[in-house]
Amino acid sequence: MIKRKGIVATLVIVSALGSGAVFAEEVEKIIEARQSFMQLYSFNLGLVGEMAKGKTEYDADIAANAAQNLLALAKMNTSPMWPQGSSKADAGLEEVTSALPEIWTTYPKVSEKHNDLTAALETFATVAGKDLASLRGGMKAVGDGCKGCHQDFRAKKEDK
């Protein structure tokens, strides 16, 4: 009798651990996806940003396309990339993600901030292809849009 109880308990624990492990792996994949998504922002920002700095020559087509890409990214529905339990505070994820639990606990604040980014990128898409001065003038608002979420919902980077 005692032995049987023990087996049942062991089975329960093992299956719980098992599903936990699978879940953690899935979450890590999702986190990887959303980090790749951020890389797409960064890549396209780089195209316009290097022109703003004068490191690459201004090219209206490249600038306009990059700005369109940024806007398209902002308009994508990425909610499946942000499941509950995928914050830095969740077990085992501290080193994997910088996403703060406030994304979920203060929802829909993050979504409102994201709307601000989309609005900034709407404007940017109309000016980036005009000329270099317009592109330069538009960068700050885009930076503010990014900052909107990163300031409140991403853990500060530890300085080494």
Partner 1 sequence: MKLCLKVATLVATGIAAGLWLLSAPEPAISAKALAMATGSDTQAGDTGPGDAERGASVFHIGGCASCHMPPDYEQPDTDSIPPLSGGMRFSTDFGTFVAPNITPDKATGIGSWSDADFATALLKGVSPQGQHYYPAFPYSSYARMSLQDVADLKAFIDTQVAVNRPNESHQLDFPFSVRRALGLWKQLYLRPGPVIDLDTEDPELLRGQYLVEGPGHCGECHSPRNILGGTDYSQWLGGAANPDGEGSIPDISPGAGDFGDWDKADIAEYLSSGFTPDYDVVGGSMAEVVENTSKLAASDRHAIAAYLKAIPTVIAKEDD
Interaction between residue 67 and partner 1 (CB under 8 A): no
Q: Please give the C-alpha separations between residue 121 and each of 114, 115, 125, 139, in angstroms, as whole numbers.
A: 11, 10, 6, 10
What gap in Å lies between CA 98 and CA 25, rounded to an integer? 17
Write each residue from 91 to 130 as x if it is in contact with partner 1 (CB under 8 A), else as -, in one continuous string. Answer: ----------------------------------------
* The binder of partner 1 chosen from 20, 46, 85, 92 (CB under 8 A): 46
Which is closer to partner 1, CB of 93 or CB of 120? 120
CA 54 from centroid of its chain's CA atoms: 28
SS3 for 63-116, per residue?
HHHHHHHHHHHHHCCCHHHCCCCCCCCCCCCCCCCCECCHHHHCCCHHHHHHHH
Nearest approach, Cβ of residue 10 and partner 1 (Å): 43
Interface pick for partner 1 out of 15, 42, 84, 111 (rule CB under 8 A): 42
Q: Which residues bind partner 1 (CB under 8 A)?
A: 41-43, 45-46, 49, 52-55, 139-140, 142-144, 146-147, 150-151, 154, 156-160
